[in-house]
C-alpha cells in the first residue's frame, strides 16, 4: 500500500498537508517550466535559427536532472502541416499531468474547505492531457489552451496553475507551519512542543534504521483533544506511523498477547533481545501485529529513573553487552542519594495500637514507583493553588501534562501505563497509578469514592507506586537506601 494511501486509510489526511503543500509548490515551479519549454519549442520550430534557452541549470535547481530531455524536446521540435511536432509529447503530457495532480492534492484531497471549481477544472485538464498522449503533435489551439494567460480568452492550464498557486499560499498561511526539531507542525498548543521535541529526539536516535529512505518526514497537528503525529519510519510502502495521543484506551498486558498470539509474543521477545544486544541499551520500542505477524515500528533508548539507570548499566555490563568503561560513563552522575527507594514509614507500636494499619482503598496499575501524598484535585486548576495535590482523573489526558509538573502524583480511573500522560508522569518522576477500577468520580459533587469510602476535594490520599495501592490520608514516607545496588555500583567503579 502506498504510504500516503496508508495514512488516508487511517482517516488522517490532514497530517499530510504540510508535506503536500511543499510538494505542490515544487510541482508549481515544474509546471511553469514545462509551459515555458512548450512556448520555446513552438518559437524554435517556427524559427530554427533562434537560440534556445539552456534549461539544465534550472532543472537541476528543481531536482529534476532526469528531465534534461526537455531541452532536447524543444531543440527537436518542428512544424509540419501547421502542427507542432514534439518527439516526446507523451512523456511531457505525463509529467504535466502528474505534477498537476500533486499541485491540486492539498486543495482537493486534504479534507478542508472544499474547492469544487478548482477541482473540477483539474479533472477537465487531466482529461485534456490524456487525449494529448495519443497524439504526436499539438494543434495550434492545443498550445494556446495550455499556455495562454488571458482570462477573457477562457480557461487554460496556465490559469489553473496560477489559481492553484494562490490557494496554496492561502493554505500555507492558514496552517502557519512551524518547524520543531524537523517536524512540520501547525495548529498545536504550546504544551505540545516539548512532546513533539521528545518524539523527534527518539526519532533521530533511530534514523540509521531508515537506511537513508527519504520518507514523508514528520507532520504534527492537533485534532480536538488529540495530538496527531505522522511519520514514515520504514523503508517500504507499509511503514507509516500515525500516533493519536489521547490516553483514553485501556491496553492489554503481555500475558494477553502471549495467550492470544503466542507466535507474535515469541517474535516480540526475540526482537527485544536482538535490539538490546545490537544497540547495547534498554529499548523503548513500538510495534504492531498484523495478520499474526510482528512488525517493529521504531525504537529508542528507554526513559529510566536513577535506580533503573544503575541496574540497567550494571546488568548489561555483566551480560557482556557493554564495556566496563561504557557502564561507568552511564552511571558517573549517580550519587548514593539517587539509589534510594521511597517507602511508607513503619508505624510505631503506639500508632499501630491506636489506629491500626493504613486504610487501603483500592489497587491500580503503577506507571511510576515512589510514594506521593496530597489533597484531592479533580481538575488542573486546583494544582495551581500551591498546596501538595494529587490529580484524580477519569482518563490521563494530554491537557493534564502541564499540571503534572506541579502535582505530587496522578491517579486515573481508566487508561494504561502506556497512556501518554502516564509516560510523561514517569519522565517527570511523578508517582502515577492508572486503571483504578475501584475509583468513582462525581464531578458535580466534587467527590471521589472507593467502595463505601467517600472523600471530598481537598481531603488527602496517598499513592503507593511501589505496590499500586491507594491509601486514605497523608502517610509518612522514608527513604530506604538500596544497599545491594550501591555495592554493585561501587564495585564497578573500584575494579580496574
Between CA 282 and CA 288, with CA 283 as vertex, the angle to 5 degrees is 150
**What pLDDT is recorded for position 235?**
37
**What pLDDT is recorded for position 291?**
73
> Which letter does DSSP use for residue 136 in this model?
S
Structure-model confidence comparison of residues 122 and 197, the more confident one: 122
Cell numbers given for 12 = 488522517
Is pLDDT at 206 greater than 80 in this prediction?
Answer: no
Is pLDDT at 251 greater than 90 in this prediction?
Answer: no
Cell numbers given for 192 = 505540545
Which of 47-51, 171-175, 353-357 has maximum average pLDDT?
A: 47-51
d(CA 491, CA 481): 17
Cα–Cα separations (whole angstroms), residue 398 to 218, 244, 246, 484: 20, 11, 6, 38
Structure-model confidence comparison of residues 101 and 18, the more confident one: 101
Domains of the chain (ranges, CATH numbers): 12-175 (no CATH), 178-245 (no CATH), 254-301 (3.30.470.20), 306-342+482-494 (no CATH), 346-475 (3.50.30.10)
What is the CA 396 to chain-centroid distance, rounded?
Answer: 18
d(CA 199, CA 284): 12
Cell 468520580 locates to 441
| Residues recorded for the chain | 496
User: Mean pLDDT, to the nearest integer, of 112-128?
Assistant: 87
Q: Which class for 30: exposed (0-12), middle (13-18), buried (19 or more C-beta within 10 A)?
A: buried
Is pLDDT at 243 greater than 70 in this prediction?
Answer: no
**What pLDDT is recorded for position 242?**
46
Between CA 116 and CA 121, with CA 119 as vertex, the angle to 5 degrees is 110
User: Mean pLDDT, to the nearest integer, of 397-404?
Assistant: 71
For 111, residues 6+ apart whose C-beta sits below 8 A from its C-beta are: 13, 14
The rounded mean pLDDT for the chain is 79
**What pLDDT is recorded for position 240?**
43
Is pLDDT at 174 greater than 70 in this prediction?
Answer: no
**What pLDDT is recorded for position 160?**
92
Cell numbers given for 102 = 500533486
For 96, residues 6+ apart whose C-beta sits below 8 A from its C-beta are: 31, 34, 129, 157
Closest CA to 21 of 220, 173, 163: 173
**CA dihedral of 251, 255, 260, 261, whole degrees rounded to 10:** 100
Is pLDDT at 1 greater than 60 in this prediction?
Answer: no
**What pLDDT is recorded for position 6?**
53
Q: Which class for 181: exposed (0-12), middle (13-18), buried (19 or more C-beta within 10 A)?
A: middle
User: Mean pLDDT, to the nearest integer, of 186-192?
Assistant: 75
Is pLDDT at 430 greater than 90 in this prediction?
Answer: no
**What pLDDT is recorded for position 397?**
67
Q: How confident is the model at residue 217 (pLDDT cuts 50, 70, 90)?
A: low
Q: Answer yes or no: are the C-beta atoms of 420 and 396 closer than 8 Å.
A: yes
Helix (H) or strand (E) holding 486: helix 483-494
Backbone angles phi, psi at 254, to 5 degrees: -65, -30
**What pLDDT is recorded for position 215?**
42
Cell 475509583 locates to 439
**What pLDDT is recorded for position 406?**
85
Structure-model confidence comparison of residues 482 and 238, the more confident one: 482
Full-model pTM: 0.47
Is pLDDT at 76 greater than 70 in this prediction?
Answer: yes
**What pLDDT is recorded for position 130?**
92
Is pLDDT at 231 greater than 80 in this prediction?
Answer: no
Closest CA to 207 of 197, 217, 219: 217
Which of 59-63, 206-210, 299-303, 475-479 has maximum average pLDDT?
A: 475-479
Closest CA to 337 of 314, 307, 308: 307
Q: Could you please report the per-residue DSSP string of 1-22?
A: --HHHHHHHTT-GGGGHHHHHH
Is pLDDT at 58 greater than 50 in this prediction?
Answer: yes
What's the order of all strands across the beta sheet hosting 226-232? 178-180, 183-186, 218-223, 226-232, 240-245
Amino acid at each position: 500500500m502506498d504510504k500516503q494511501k496508508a495514512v488516508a486509510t487511517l482517516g488522517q489526511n490532514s497530517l499530510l498537508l504540510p508535506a503536500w503543500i511543499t510538494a505542490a509548490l515544487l510541482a508549481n515551479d515544474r509546471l511553469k517550466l514545462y509551459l515555458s519549454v512548450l512556448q520555446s519549442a513552438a518559437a524554435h520550430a517556427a524559427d530554427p535559427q533562434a537560440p534556445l534557452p539552456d534549461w539544465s541549470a534550472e532543472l537541476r535547481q528543481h531536482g529534476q536532472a532526469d528531465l534534461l530531455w526537455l531541452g532536447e524536446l524543444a531543440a527537436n521540435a518542428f512544424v509540419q502541416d501547421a502542427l507542432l511536432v514534439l518527439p516526446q509529447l507523451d512523456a511531457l503530457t505525463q509529467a504535466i499531468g502528474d505534477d498537476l495532480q500533486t499541485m491540486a492534492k492539498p486543495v482537493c484531497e486534504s479534507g478542508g474547505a472544499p474547492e469544487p471549481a478548482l477541482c473540477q477544472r483539474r479533472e477537465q485538464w487531466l482529461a485534456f492531457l490524456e487525449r494529448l498522449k495519443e497524439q504526436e503533435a499539438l494543434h495550434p489551439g492545443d498550445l494556446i489552451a495550455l499556455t495562454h494567460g488571458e482570462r477573457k480568452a477562457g480557461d487554460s492550464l496556465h490559469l489553473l496553475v496560477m489559481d492553484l498557486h494562490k490557494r496554496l499560499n492561502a493554505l500555507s498561511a492558514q496552517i502557519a507551519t512551524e518547524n520543531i526539531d524537523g517536524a512540520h507542525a501547525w495548529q498545536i498548543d504550546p504544551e505540545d512542543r516539548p512532546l513533539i521535541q521528545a518524539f523527534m529526539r527518539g526519532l533521530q536516535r533511530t534514523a540509521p534504521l531508515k537506511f537513508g529512505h527519504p520518507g514523508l518526514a514528520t507532520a504534527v497537528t492537533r485534532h480536538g483533544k488529540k495530538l496527531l503525529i505522522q511519520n514514515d519510519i520504514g523503508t517500504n510502502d507499509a511503514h507509516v506511523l500515525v500516533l493519536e495521543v489521547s490516553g483514553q484506551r485501556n491496553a492489554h498486558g503481555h500475558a494477553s498477547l502471549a495467550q492470544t498470539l503466542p507466535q507474535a509474543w515469541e517474535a516480540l521477545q526475540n526482537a527485544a533481545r536482538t535490539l538490546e544486544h545490537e544497540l547495547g541499551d534498554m529499548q523503548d520500542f513500538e510495534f504492531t501485529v498484523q495478520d499474526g505477524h510482528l512488525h517493529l515500528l521504531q525504537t529508542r533508548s528507554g526513559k529510566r529513573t536513577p535506580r533503573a539507570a544503575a541496574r540497567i548499566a550494571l546488568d548489561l555490563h555483566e551480560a557482556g553487552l557493554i564495556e566496563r568503561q561504557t557502564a561507568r560513563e552511564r552511571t558517573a552522575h549517580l550519587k548514593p542519594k539517587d539509589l534510594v527507594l521511597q517507602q511508607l514509614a513503619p508505624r510505631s507500636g503506639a500508632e499501630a495500637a491506636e489506629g491500626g494499619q493504613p486504610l487501603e482503598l483500592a489497587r491500580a496499575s503503577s506507571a511510576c514507583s515512589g510514594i506521593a501524598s496530597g489533597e484531592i484535585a479533580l481538575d488542573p486548576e486546583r494544582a495551581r493553588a500551591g498546596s501538595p495535590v494529587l490529580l484524580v482523573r477519569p482518563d490521563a489526558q494530554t491537557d493534564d501534562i502541564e499540571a503534572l509538573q506541579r502535582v505530587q502524583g496522578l491517579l486515573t480511573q481508566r487508561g494504561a501505563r502506556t497512556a501518554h500522560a502516564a509516560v510523561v508522569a514517569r519522565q517527570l518522576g511523578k508517582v502515577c497509578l492508572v486503571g483504578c477500577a475501584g475509583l468513582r468520580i462525581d464531578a458535580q459533587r466534587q467527590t471521589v469514592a472507593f467502595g463505601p469510602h467517600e472523600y471530598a476535594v481537598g481531603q488527602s490520599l496517598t499513592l503507593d507506586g511501589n505496590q499500586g495501592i491507594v491509601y486514605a490520608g497523608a502517610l509518612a514516607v522514608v527513604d530506604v537506601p538500596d544497599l545491594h545496588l550501591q555495592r554493585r555500583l561501587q564495585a564497578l567503579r573500584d575494579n580496574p
